[in-house]
Amino acid sequence: MRITRIVMFAGAAVGAVAVGGAAAPHHDAGGTVTGVITYTGTPPKMKPIDMSKEPTCAKQHATPVMTEGAVTGPGNTLADVVVYVSAGDQGGAQASTPVRYDQKGCQYLPHVAVMETGQPLEIYNDDETSHNIHPMPKLNSEWNKSQPPGTPPIQTSFDKAEFIPVKCNVHPWMHGYFAVLKTSHYTVSGPDGAFKLEGLPPGKYTLTAWHERFGTQTAEVTITGSETQTVKFVFRATPY
Amino acid sequence: MSIYSRLAALSGAGALLLAVGTTPVRAQESHIGTMTGHAAAGQKLYRRYCVGCHGPDGDGNGENAQWIDPKPRDFTAGLFKCRSTPTGSLPTDEDLFNAISRGFVTTNMPPWLPLPPQDRANLVAYVKTFSPRFATEKPGASITIPPEPAVTIDGILRGRATFQKLECWKCHGPTGKADGPSASTLTDSKDNPIRPYNFAAGLPRFMCGSTNADIYRDFMTGLDGSPMPSFADQLQPAEAWDLVHFLRTLQPLDTPEALIWKQWVATHGSELKPIGPDNGGM
C-alpha cells in the first residue's frame, strides 16, 4: 500500500509538471472545446408570465415572456448551461472588466450571468419600476437592495465560487443566477444548446456543465495544441 | 490520589489537548457594553429556553418549529433581520442582545427581558457559535442615525411622495394595510411565505424596535433574509426621516404625526392623489 501511494504521488507530480509548463495567456490561442448540450427525459414546460401587475414591463413585450427554469431548443437541446473548467486551470490575471447584469422588462438579462471570484459586477435597472435585487448565496453573504428607476448601477462582487440564485421580491416571476467561478475558462450554451470554449492552453482539464434544475455533468479533456475537440453533455431532465 | 481526582486530572489534560490540537474556529464570546458573554454558559441557557424552537443544532428545526409561522431563525446561516449594520453584513453583539431582549412582535419569539442581562449576553455568545461566519467575518459598521427633525406637514407630504416613488406600496399597500400587488407572493430566503408589515393593524410595536429611529434604521439596513431591501443607497437622511413621519400617519394611533396629518387632510384632503399605480407622481 505504501509503495502504491508513492507511485501515485509520483504520477501526480509528473502530471503537475507537465501541465504547469503551459502558461499561455487566456483566450489568445490554444485549443477549443465545442459541443451541444442535450437532455433525455421530460423537462418541465415553460409557462407564459403574467406581468399585468407591472404594466410598465408588460408593455415592453409583444408576446408574454416565458419562464426560464429549463429553456430547451429543437432536438432536445438545452440552453443556459454553464460550461467551465473545474479542474486543471492554471489561473491567470484577475478579471477586472465588469460583468453587466440588466433588469429589463422585468427580466434578468442574461438569465445566468457568469463571473470570476472577485470580478466586478454591475447591476442595472433599465425599467421604469423599482426592483429589489436579492442574491441568495450560501457561501457568500446574502444581501438585498432596492434599485429605483434611473439610479446608478449597483457595483458588487462575490469572493467565493458558487451558483447564486437571484430574485426580485417585488416581481416574483424574476429569477436568475450568478455563476461565480474560479476560472476564466467558461461559456454558456445558447438557445440551440451549442457551446464553444476557446483559448484552452495545452493541459488536462475537467469540464463541468451546470444547469440550474438538472445539476451538473463532467467530462475530461486533454488539449495538446490548437485543435478543436467535441464533448457531449447529456442531462437527465425531470418535469418537477 | 483518589480515583476521582485522577479522572478529573485526566479529563482536564484531554480538554487541554483538544484546545491545543484544534484551532478555535468559532467565536466563543460576546461583548455588550462592559459585559462579556460566554458560549459555554449560554449553551446551558439555550438548552433550557431556546432549543424547543431553534433546535439543538441552531438550524431553526426545533420540536415546535413545525407549528410556528414565521419559522424560527436558522442561526447556521448567520443571516439576521434586525441589525444596525448594512445589508449583507453580520449584526453586532448588541444587535443580537437587543433582539433577544425585545423579541419579535408578530412572531412566536417573546421578549427575554426576564432573563438577567448577563444570561442574555451568554446566549448571544452561544448563538454565534452556530454560524462559521462569526469566526471569519467582522460585523459591519453600525449605520449612523442623525438627529430627528421636527415633524411638519411638509415633511410628511415629502415622505408620502417617497412612499410612492420608492414603491413601498407594492408590498405594504397604498394605505399601509400590507395588501400591495406583490404582498401575496412574498417569500423569505427559505421560500416560506412571509407577510409585509401591516401599518394599519394598529400595533404600537415594530419587529426591529418601535421608536422612530428604529424605523429609520430598518430602511437603511434592510431586513436580511426577508423581502425588505436596504434603501441605504436611495435615501438621504432627511428623506428617510420624512418617510418615517409619513409611515406614522398610516398607523391608526394618535401619534404626533397622525394628529398633524389628520388636521391637514381635513382641509386639504381633496388635493391628494391616491398612492398606487395611477398616482403619476403626487
Contact A172 B88 (CB under 8 A): no
| Shortest CA gap B254–chain A (Å) | 31
Can you give the pLDDT at residue B37?
97
Residue with the bigger pLDDT between B280 and A56: it is A56
Q: Residue B229 region, left (φ>0) first, then alpha (ψ -120 to 50), else beta?
A: beta
* Residues B124 and B187 both lie in one domain: no
CATH of residue B217: 1.10.760.10
Tally the domains of chain A.
2
Burial of B24 (0-12, 13-18, 19+ CB in 10 A): exposed
* Residues B253 and B160 both lie in one domain: yes
Q: Which residues of A touch B226 (CB under 8 A)?
A: 144
* Residues A84 and A194 both lie in one domain: yes
Residue of B nearest to A153 (CA): B233
Domain boundary, last residue among B73, B102, B136:
B136
Q: Per DSSP, what are the bridge partners of residue A41?
A: A237
The backbone torsions φ and ψ at residue A70, rounded to the nearest 5 degrees and listed phi first, read -155, 90
* Residues B119 and B211 both lie in one domain: no
Residue of B nearest to A128 (CA): B165
* Residues A2 and A85 both lie in one domain: yes
* Residues A7 and A54 both lie in one domain: yes
Contact B185 A144 (CB under 8 A): no
| Shortest CA gap B41–chain A (Å) | 29
Nearest beta carbon to residue B234 from set A134, A146, A170: A146
Residue with the bigger pLDDT between A14 and B168: it is B168
A189-236: pLDDT as tens digits: 999 999 999 999 999 999 999 999 999 999 999 999 999 999 999 999
Q: Which residues of A touch B166 (CB under 8 A)?
A: 130, 146, 148
* Residues A193 and A240 both lie in one domain: yes
Contact A144 B182 (CB under 8 A): no
Can you give the pLDDT at residue B26?
60
Q: Is residue B12 part of a domain?
A: no
* Residues A86 and A19 both lie in one domain: yes
CATH of residue A36: 2.60.40.1120
**A23, pLDDT greater than 80:** no
Domain carrying residue A3: 1-91+189-240
Integer Rg of chain A from CA: 20
* Residues A87 and A5 both lie in one domain: yes
Domain boundary, last residue among B136, B164, B183:
B136
* Residues B177 and B215 both lie in one domain: yes
Domain boundary, last residue among B136, B161, B178:
B136
Listed by number, the residues of chain A in 138-177 with a beta carbon closer than 8 Å to a beta carbon of chain B are 138, 141-148, 151, 154, 169-172
Domain carrying residue B253: 153-271
* Residues A9 and A32 both lie in one domain: yes
* Residues B122 and B180 both lie in one domain: no
Q: Over range A68-92, report the average pLDDT.
A: 95
Q: Over range A180-196, report the average pLDDT.
A: 97
Q: Which residues of A touch B233 (CB under 8 A)?
A: 145-146, 151, 154
Q: Is residue B19 part of a domain?
A: no
CB contact B229 to A (< 8 Å): yes
Q: Over range A174-199, report the average pLDDT.
A: 97
| Shortest CA gap B84–chain A (Å) | 14
CB contact B231 to A (< 8 Å): yes
* Residues B132 and B159 both lie in one domain: no
| Shortest CA gap A120–chain B (Å) | 17
* Residues A100 and A170 both lie in one domain: yes
Q: Per DSSP, what are the bridge partners of residue A83?
A: A187, A209
* Residues B163 and B105 both lie in one domain: no
* Residues A110 and A82 both lie in one domain: no
CB contact B179 to A (< 8 Å): no
Nearest beta carbon to residue A144 from set B87, B182, B233: B87
Q: Do residues A86 and A207 make contact, with C-beta atoms less than 8 angstroms apart? A: yes
Q: Do residues A84 and A186 make contact, with C-beta atoms less than 8 angstroms apart? A: yes
Q: Is residue B242 part of a domain?
A: yes
Question: Which regions of chain B are under pLDDT 50?
Answer: 1-2, 7-10, 12-25, 281-282
Contact B165 A143 (CB under 8 A): no
**A61, pLDDT greater than 50:** yes
Q: How far apart are the C-alpha atoms of A27 and B196, rounded to whole Å?
A: 48
Residue with the bigger pLDDT between A13 and B99: it is B99
The size of the A-B interface in CB pairs under 8 A is: 76
Q: How far apart are the C-alpha atoms of B124 and B119, rounded to whole Å?
A: 9
Can you give the pLDDT at residue B272?
92
CB contact A10 to B (< 8 Å): no
* Residues A131 and A84 both lie in one domain: no
Residue with the bigger pLDDT between A2 and B219: it is B219
Tally the domains of chain B.
2
What is the secondary structure of B201-255 as a DSSP string? G--S--TT-SSHHHHHHHHHH--TTSS--B-TTT--HHHHHHHHHHHHHHSSS--
Q: Is residue B73 part of a domain?
A: yes
Q: How far apart are the C-alpha atoms of A70 and B181, rounded to whole Å?
A: 27
CATH of residue A128: 2.60.40.420
Q: Is residue B99 part of a domain?
A: yes
Tally of residues, chain B: 282
Domain boundary, last residue among A182, A205, A228:
A182
Q: Do residues A80 and A66 make contact, with C-beta atoms less than 8 angstroms apart? A: no
Most B CBs within 10 A among A129, A146, A147, hence the mutation to make, goes to: A146
Q: Residue B164 region, left (φ>0) first, then alpha (ψ -120 to 50), else beta?
A: alpha
Q: Do residues A99 and A119 make contact, with C-beta atoms less than 8 angstroms apart? A: yes
Take residue B275 and report the three cell numbers written for it: 398612492
CB contact B277 to A (< 8 Å): yes
* Residues B130 and B213 both lie in one domain: no
Q: Which residues of A touch B78 (CB under 8 A)?
A: 141
* Residues A103 and A219 both lie in one domain: no
How much is the ipTM here? 0.84
Prior bond of B70 cis (ω within 30°): yes
* Residues A175 and A62 both lie in one domain: no
Domain boundary, last residue among A137, A153, A182:
A182
| Shortest CA gap A196–chain B (Å) | 35
